[in-house]
Structure 1
Amino acid sequence: MTEARTNLAFGKKRKQHVLILASGEKVRHVTIRPLLVIPTLLIILVMSLGFIGSTAYLVFRDDMLGAMIARQSRMQKDYEDRIAALRSQVDQITSRQLLDQQAVEKKVETLLAQQNALSFRHGRANELLNEEDTRSAPDEQSVTPSANPFAPQKKASLSGGASAIDRALRGAEKGSTLKGSLTYSDNRDAVSGRALTRMLVSLNRIESDQLGRIASLTIGAKSRADAMADIIRSTGLKIDDKADDAVGGPFVEASTNPFQASLADLDNALDRLETVRGTAERLPLGNPAPGRDITSRFGNRMDPFLGRPALHTGIDFRAETGADVRATGAGTVSFAGYSGGYGNMVEVDHGKGVTTRYGHLSQILVRTGEKIELSDVIGKAGSTGRSTGPHVHYEVRLNDEAVDPMRFLVAGTELKTYLQ
């Protein structure tokens, strides 16, 4: 019993184990010593663990390398995305600055163009205003607003309009220097943009003021021309200030520039005013004997020699012998000599079929064909011809037909303020 137990306990009995390996006829015996089994198993275990550990390490290392590579890839991608975002921001800032620069330059160019236009308009308007001021300067002192509505408008335009235009142009000239010195930082761009906008608004306001004043001048010139034309027509003389002449030519569409259109209207109004003024200046609107009383008017009266009704074709002014007799308008002497009942007479042709006669002169001071002006002394009062005493006989004839000279005397009084 004890021996069996001893045999069952492996290792208790020091017996060698023989491993028989048979291959065909060959038989090999391998003796396995118990003391070598455990170390061999340990070595195998260690090698297995080492192999497993190495494999695990290599696998884990590959995972770590993959994770590191993936992390680096993500970091690189994030870095590239950040760089791309920064580049996009830089491009946006650059584009915005470029757009701001272009906008500012466009505003400056607009400002300069408007400045040049205002300079041209200022010069053109000054030409018209100075021309009208030269023609009509006395009117501002002698014409009431009701009689001459154009005078106060013209005066306001000359004083207020020119000074306002000058101020705008000086501001525009200061603004024109911005083009070479503008910087494009955000703050300065904003300031420059606001400044240019204010200047453009100011120039637009001045432009509107110019148009308004030119419109006032145009209306005033038309009103004055109409008033003068009506006065001239009251004398019985037809004035063709609105007649349509024979015209022609190719069609060219008119400019849509409001300033050019307003200047064209003003030019037309001033041309018409000049035409009416020229007509009035050639008419006999003066007085042949200033300050003298009228002793006999135009129309039917009792003839002083025959004592029966007769037509008196002129008006008589009381004047002593030798008193000056003056031309009532510019013209050409068409007759100077003795003429029957007129005695010594001077006849002056004023054009448009209008002539004047000055009779009973004691002395004639002009010759036929001589050019004379308003208020020139053409002779001396007397009593030659069919006359009862020294006086000035004055006639106005339209197409060789006697008309009442009082029409022209009254018209001359009304037009005097427009012609001085």
Structure 2
Amino acid sequence: MQLIITDARLSKSRSIQLSGLRLCAVALGLSLCLMLVSAVLYHWVFLKGAREGWPVISTLVRLVVRDEVAQRERFMRENIDVMAKRLGEMQAKMMQLESLGERVSGLAGINPADIRARPGQGGVLVAGHDLSMEELQAALSDLEKVSQQRTDVMTVIESRLFEQKIKQMMVPTELPVKDVSLGSSFGWRIDPFTGRSALHTGLDFPAEVGTPILAAAGGVVVAQEYHPQYGNMIEVDHGNDLITRYAHSSRVFVKKGDLIKRGQKIAEVGTTGRSTGAHLHFEVLVQGVPQDPQKFLNAGSHLAALGKR
């Protein structure tokens, strides 16, 4: 493209040669300048009109602001409704947790009334349609406090149940010899050596030599020695003045001071000491007084049956 510029006064002319690229650059530059000037004028006129309250400008500003506020409120309302719904679900689960805690507390031997976080209250579900942000925050704060209280309650219950479990593990309710029939029971009988009536202070479990002897409960070995009457003997202290005695063993696998657990193999059946044949003589002593071991073993069988239900 060629432009010719003529000066009539000087009788001169000048030609300008514009290529396609130059023409596009000129057009783009003019467009940018026009857009910049328009934006500056629009911004200046709009701000000035908004400050001075020009009718048309003020109406446009109110429409824009009102639309933005409506959108913001609608967004907040939708989010509050969703949060309120989730809060209601959490409160319902918290009520279920409270009910569960009351039932479990009975197993732990705790009075539910003593651990209830809010006596006589179970919480109210929140309806989210008219709920404000402040009310939602207050409800969340209350729920957090209740959650902490439930956590403390469950911790107490867990501690109590663990304590009971430990106590059960320390009571001799496990059969010391498996899969054998009971021989002589606890009580008065005719002594096989003297032929006279005598008190049999434990239970006899006839078994082959080498049959494993298991600890009836966890505890500490307080005696492991050879006794003229009991032969190779083991005594285990279970606390609370409760001791179990295992006699006539052929081999012993623990020593005094050992900490043992329920069901652990501590010896093997034999016929050492005052014995007429291979068997385990098993005793339970409370404060040094022999008790009928069958009562403890029956209690263990009852607990096992309850656990299978």
TM bracket (short chain): 0.5 to 0.7
Q: Size of the alignment, in residue pairs?
A: 222
Q: Which position in structure 2 is the counterpart of 1:126?
A: none
- Please show how residues 356-367 of structure 1 align to structure 2 within 5 Å: 356-367=244-255
Q: 2:187 aligns with which of 290, 294, 299?
A: 299
Higher share of residues assigned strand: 2
Does the alignment pair 1:267 with 2:150? no
Q: Which position in structure 2 is the counterpart of 1:369?
A: 257
Q: Residues 398 and 377 from structure 1, CA distance in 2 versus in 1: closer, same or farther, beyond 3 angstroms? A: same
How far 1:223 moved relative to its partner?
3.2
How far 1:266 moved relative to its partner?
1.3
Q: Deviations over 1:16-75 (max 9, x none)?
A: xxxxxxxxxxxxxxxxxxxxxxxxxxxxxxxxxxxxxxxxxxxxxxxxxxxxxxxxxxxx
Gaps of 5+ in 1: 1-81, 98-182, 228-254
Does the alignment pair 1:321 with 2:206? no
Higher share of residues assigned helix: 1
How far 1:311 moved relative to its partner?
2.1
How far 1:212 moved relative to its partner?
2.7
Q: Residues 330 and 308 from structure 1, CA distance in 2 versus in 1: closer, same or farther, beyond 3 angstroms? A: same
Q: Which position in structure 2 is the counterpart of 1:56?
A: none
- Please show how residues 119-138 of structure 1 align to structure 2 within 5 Å: none
Q: 2:224 aligns with which of 333, 336, 356?
A: 336
How far 1:93 moved relative to its partner?
10
Q: Residues 191 and 353 from structure 1, CA distance in 2 versus in 1: closer, same or farther, beyond 3 angstroms? A: same
Q: Determine the C-alpha separation between the residues in 2 that align with 1:216 and 1:408.
A: 34
- Please show how residues 21-420 of structure 1 align to structure 2 within 5 Å: 184-186=68-70, 188-189=71-72, 191-226=74-109, 257-416=145-304
Name the aligned partner's letter for residue 259 of structure 1. S
Q: Secondary structure at the match of 1:310?
A: strand
Q: Determine the C-alpha separation between the residues in 2 that align with 1:406 and 1:319.
A: 18
How far 1:265 moved relative to its partner?
1.4
Name the aligned partner's letter for residue 192 of structure 1. F
Q: Deviations over 1:125-179 (max 9, x none)?
A: xxxxxxxxxxxxxxxxxxxxxxxxxxxxxxxxxxxxxxxxxxxxxxxxxxxxxxx
Q: Secondary structure at the match of 1:294?
A: coil
Larger Rg: 1
How far 1:393 moved relative to its partner?
0.7
How far 1:87 moved relative to its partner?
7.5
TM-score norm. by structure 1 comes to: 0.47
**Cα root mean square deviation, aligned:** 3.3
Gaps of 5+ in 2: 1-52, 111-142
Q: Determine the C-alpha separation between the residues in 1 that align with 2:298 and 2:81.
A: 55
8 A contact 1:322–1:362 mirrored in 2: yes
Q: Determine the C-alpha separation between the residues in 2 that align with 1:345 and 1:387.
A: 13
Q: Secondary structure at the match of 1:328?
A: coil
How far 1:211 moved relative to its partner?
1.2
Q: Determine the C-alpha separation between the residues in 2 that align with 1:309 and 1:194.
A: 90
Q: Determine the C-alpha separation between the residues in 2 that align with 1:216 and 1:281.
A: 29
